[in-house]
């Protein structure tokens, strides 16, 4: 009879699988080449439009703008010197909310739970799920947003009352990307 003790464990493989989580990150938003793409024939980029809609802005009414808007049928009062686009945050309310926090926590929990010994892609798959999930939530929020409402003239021009969607161009530029963590790749 042999009293041989064998130490069989998968700790090195499990540690390697968890390292995949630490070495991976996901970015969600408007970035890359698409961010600098201009909107139709304007000089405004997709990213600039997103910032304007998210944070709001005040636009000084110039004589040229006044004449242009008059030609379209919007007759500004002489005392109107600025046009205000109210903030319609669509990113922060989704990613900073409790629902997003719970979604990310659950995805990480499930990803770690399903990672087998030596599964180097578990982190990547988990972050892909998180990225796609949050991207979808932001896009849904943009589709559903109704407040503050568009000006009646804007609704008439767009033929839509959704403040964040006209052609869907901005919506299509909300993307996610899974990649090596900053400084890791």
- For the stretch 164-182, pLDDT in tens is 998 888 999 999 999 888 7
Q: Which residues of 83-114 are buried (b: 16+ CB within 10 A; e: fewer)?
A: eebeebebbeebbeeeebeebbeebbeebeee
Is the pTM higher than 0.85? no
Contact by Cβ (8 Å): 47, 30:
yes
Peptide bond into 60 cis (omega under 30): no
The tens digit of pLDDT for each residue in 6-38 reads 766 655 655 666 666 677 889 999 998 889 999
Distance CA 153, CA 179 (A): 43
């Amino acid at each position: 009879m042999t009293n041989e003790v064998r130490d069989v464990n998968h700790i090195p493989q499990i540690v390697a699988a968890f390292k995949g989580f630490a070495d991976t990150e996901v970015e969600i938003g408007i970035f890359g080449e698409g961010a600098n793409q201009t909107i139709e024939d304007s000089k405004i980029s997709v990213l600039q439009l997103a910032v304007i809609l998210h944070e709001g802005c005040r636009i000084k009414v110039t004589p040229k703008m006044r004449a242009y808007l008059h030609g379209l049928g919007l007759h500004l009062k002489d005392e109107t010197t600025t046009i205000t686009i109210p903030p319609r945050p669509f990113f922060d309310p989704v990613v900073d909310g409790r629902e997003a926090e719970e979604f990310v926590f659950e995805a990480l929990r499930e990803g770690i739970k399903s990672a087998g010994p030596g599964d180097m892609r578990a982190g990547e798959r988990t972050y892909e799920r998180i990225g796609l999930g949050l991207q979808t939530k932001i896009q849904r929020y943009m589709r559903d947003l109704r407040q503050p409402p568009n000006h009646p003239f804007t609704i008439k021009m767009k033929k839509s009352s959704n403040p964040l969607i006209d052609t869907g161009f901005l919506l299509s530029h909300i993307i996610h990307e899974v990649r090596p963590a900053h400084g890791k790749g």
